[in-house]
Structure 1
Amino acid sequence: MNDNDLRVRKTKQQLQRVLIQLLQTTTFSKITVKQICDTTLINRTTFYQHYHDKSDLLYDMFEGLTIDNHNLALHRLMNEPFTMFPCL
């Protein structure tokens, strides 16, 4: 699956957004893939084309919120600490 495809990116963003919404009212252990799919109006088959399970979705969401610190230049991080990170 091509992660640069606009359809793939939109589907993943939609699934992540719904997971965040559900986490505001429900614990992760009680959230189901069916609940995520019903809320996003995405078929379960589509969900499983992108993610192995709901934990995989959560991991992908966290990975998108973090940066690869191996690519940061230390001297630049020390001199420009707030300009190094992309805006969320």
Structure 2
Amino acid sequence: MGQSDATLSDGETRLARLKAASEAHKQYRFSRRAVTTQRRAAFRSLYDGVNRINRIGQLVYGPTSPQGQLFRNHWQFRRARRRSPALPTSLTD
């Protein structure tokens, strides 16, 4: 009674393939997270290095001199603008 041997065998084969595909997908997701973490760490390291160079250049040349203007940090200005948009005073009251 129940399912034939061929049907049971086919079901077991499909289940094994499904488990293998699920495990492969899990490994893929894990590797993507690891790559994303590494990429973010590399960008953060680059960002910190450039900011350090900019701070030192501004200390050496001064922020108002033409040479000091070359060391202005454009990243912080753009990031700050995106984070705090200006609201009309009528909306803040």
TM-score normalised according to structure 2 size: 0.29
Structure (1 or 2) with the larger CA radius of gyration = 2
Larger RCO (alpha carbons 8 Å, 6+ apart): 1
